[in-house]
Amino acid sequence: MFSRKPNQASSEEEVLGTEAEEVVEQEVAPPVVTTSEQASSNGYYDNGSRSNISKPSIISEGFVFEGTITSAGVLNISGTVRGKITAKSVLVDASGQVDGELNSEQLVIKGQVKGDVICEDLNIGPLAHVDGNISYKYIHIQRGGKVAGKFIKS
Amino acid sequence: MAESNQQGCLFVGEGVVLKGNFEVPDIASISGTVEGEITAKQVLIEATGVVRGKLTGESIDIRGEVVEYVSATRSLIIRSTGKVTGSINYSEIEIEKGGHLHGDLHNLNPHS
């Protein structure tokens, strides 16, 4: 007990000491930190936007997502999504399922989609089931694709 | 196939305008304009063909334009130059890239 108390006290002192040191560092550091942060964040941003285009976001098989997805890049759905999806390019794979709104420039459906679809380029695979209102610019339905709903060419 | 045996076939040439209801036992090939109803086993709407009215058949192949109603009990193909407006019933559908589709689409046997 006796030995612990001084230890705790000393550890508290140490903490206080380090905090004080940190404060000092922060006071000294700011201009340097902000410039380096800006530089690094810019660099990261560039990398981020590039990787958004090259690397797809993936909802894997067995994964269920409920909510809104927004992406400037590619989205591959092999699992289930309930909610609203907005992305530049969306692929609903054979095992994929979407319940809800789907907005995409380029859309490939091999699985199941229930809900309203707004897209420019639509490709529906032979095993796909699509049910809902579809607004499109260019459409391609492969033989065997099951489609029901209202089609609007924009 | 149609050229060798034209029994039960209807051919509407380009520039021809036909009005009325037509029951065709075999092939209906439309390059002109038809206003009214066509029922045929096989329907070919060529690129210059236009049908305004109801179109019913087993297999329907559309390169031209159909307005109002299409029902295909077996297969419906809308080619890249094809344009369909109105209510569409099908059991198997294929739309080539570039084909137009504007209206309601119904699957005749959705549980298959």
Instruction: Please answer yes or no on whether B110 and A146 come within 8 Å at the CB atom.
Output: yes
Predicted model pTM: 0.75
The count of structural domains within chain A is 2
Same domain, A141 and A76: yes
Q: Are residues A88 and A99 in the same domain?
A: yes
Consecutive H or E run containing A68: strand A64-77
One domain, residues A146 and A70: yes
Counting Cβ atoms within 10 Å, is residue B59 exposed (0-12), middle (13-18) or buried (19+)?
middle
Do A44 and A110 lie in one domain? The reply is no
CA distance B73 to chain A (A): 13
Report CB contact under 8 Å: B104, A141.
no
| Domain match, A29 and A78 both | no
The answer on A63 and A47 residing in a single domain is no
pLDDT at B38: 97
Q: Are residue A36 and residue A91 in the same domain, yes or no?
A: no
Decide if A143 and B93 are in contact by the 8 Å CB cutoff. Answer: yes
> Do A79 and A16 reside in the same domain of the chain?
no
Model confidence at B109, pLDDT cuts 50, 70, 90, reads confident
| Same domain membership, residue A61 and residue A120 | yes
Point out the residue among A145, A149, A153 whose CB comes nearest to the CB of B102: A153
Task: State the Cα–Cα distance between residues A92 and A101, nearest whole angstrom.
Answer: 13
Give chain B's length. Answer: 112
- Residue B14 is classified by DSSP as T
Mutation pick from A146, A150, A152, A154 vs chain B, by most beta carbons of B within 10 Å, is A146
Same domain, residue pair A86 and A129: yes
* Residues A70 and A50 both lie in one domain: no
One domain, residues A76 and A128: yes
Contact state of B98 with A146 under an 8 Å Cβ cutoff: no
Judged by average pLDDT, the poorest of A33-42, A55-64, A65-74, B35-44 is A33-42
Which of A139, A145, A150 comes nearest B104 by C-beta?
Answer: A150
Question: How many CB pairs below 8 A link A and B?
Answer: 46
Share of chain A above pLDDT 90, in %: 64
The residue range of the domain holding A10 is 4-54
Region B86-112: what's the mean pLDDT?
Answer: 91
**What percent of chain B is modeled with pLDDT above 70?**
95
